[in-house]
Amino acid sequence: MTLDPFLASALLAIVLAAIATGIVGTLSVANRMVSIGGGLAHAAYGGLGIAFLLGWAPLPVTLLFTVLFALALDALQERLRDQADTLTGVLWSLGMAVGILAVDLSHRTAGDLSAILFGSLLAIPREDLVALAILDCLLIPLAFLLRRALLAQALDPEFAEVSGLPVRWLKRGLLLVVSLSVVLLMRVAGLVLMVALLSIPGALALRWSRSLGRAMALGAALTLVFGLAGIALSWRFDLSSGASIIAVAGATYLAVALGPRK
């Protein structure tokens, strides 16, 4: 029996996505950056719209746009510290608005973009798989080397700062990897649903693990389980793959959160 090539690509994509999500999602939850991740995922649509308008390759334009957006968010949050949450919300919508306006100005229908907005795991292009593999190769050694510093920062940011840890640079680094991840994972979960992928496996893993390193590994394993279950549902019942994955993950999270406490 040969595996359907679409299904094979989807399975490979979910394995690669699980590694990135396990690391970045766990760190996002630990550092209370989930809403920022959601904001960046939506802001990425701005880059996508601009690429669509100009007829350029979507991946590099969206990557550049999202990274610049993340750096702008960081600078503005530093300047307007008491309005950090509002700023995230404003930039979240602004990025989407830029994308919608760019698509309007192109005077073309944006049918292709729905795959990116809501995910299309079964039609993931080869270059996206290569980019995801490169991201994983960067994330694994970085997370391993910096795990202690990242834990210290997440545990007590004020102590970490006054003890001489470069917390500003670590936060910028995290923003950068969140930006890269949301763009490279957009076909897996979809930009609109991305925030669930960045929060649910990480939140469950942090709850069940005894160390940050183990939480990242468990986060990856959980994403893999949710992804495989979602693909199975999607394949069997002809459903949207991204929404199927998030439905499985969301139901698991609610069952755990509302279930009996240890």
Q: Considering only residues 19 through 38, tell me which ones interact with other proteins, judged by CB under 8 A.
A: 30
Q: How far is the CB of 32 from other proteins (least distance, A)?
A: 8
Of positions 79, 126, 210, 261, contacts other proteins by CB under 8 A = 210
Binding segment (CB under 8 A) for other proteins, from list 157-165, 180-188, 221-229, 245-253: 157-165
Under the criterion CB under 8 A, does residue 48 sit at the interface with other proteins? no
Under the criterion CB under 8 A, does residue 155 sit at the interface with other proteins? yes
Site of tokens 């069997």 = 236
Q: How far is the CB of 256 from other proteins (least distance, A)?
A: 14
Q: Which is nearer to other proteins, 76 or 214 (CB)?
A: 214
Q: Which is nearer to other proteins, 158 or 238 (CB)?
A: 158
Of positions 12, 209, 217, 250, contacts other proteins by CB under 8 A = 209
Q: How many angstroms separate the CA atoms of 178 and 85, rounded?
A: 17
| CB 48 within 8 Å of CB 116 | yes
Q: How many angstroms separate the CA atoms of 111 and 119, rounded?
A: 13
> Quick count: other Cβ atoms within 10 Å of Cβ 230?
27
Q: How many angstroms separate the CA atoms of 58 and 55, rounded?
A: 8
| CB 245 within 8 Å of CB 227 | yes
Q: Which is nearer to other proteins, 56 or 159 (CB)?
A: 159
Binding segment (CB under 8 A) for other proteins, from list 10-18, 54-62, 147-155, 225-233: 147-155
Q: How many angstroms separate the CA atoms of 93 and 165, rounded?
A: 33
Binding segment (CB under 8 A) for other proteins, from list 2-10, 52-60, 61-69, 160-168: 160-168
> Quick count: other Cβ atoms within 10 Å of Cβ 155?
11
Q: Which is nearer to other proteins, 102 or 143 (CB)?
A: 143
- Residue 205 burial by Cβ neighbours in a 10 Å radius (0-12, 13-18, 19+): buried
| CB 154 within 8 Å of CB 28 | no
Under the criterion CB under 8 A, does residue 158 sit at the interface with other proteins? yes
| CB 216 within 8 Å of CB 140 | no
Q: How far is the CB of 227 from other proteins (least distance, A)?
A: 23
| CB 226 within 8 Å of CB 202 | no
Under the criterion CB under 8 A, does residue 163 sit at the interface with other proteins? yes
Under the criterion CB under 8 A, does residue 260 sit at the interface with other proteins? no
The site for other proteins (CB under 8 A) is made up of: 30, 145-146, 148-149, 151-152, 154-156, 158-166, 206-207, 209-212, 214-215
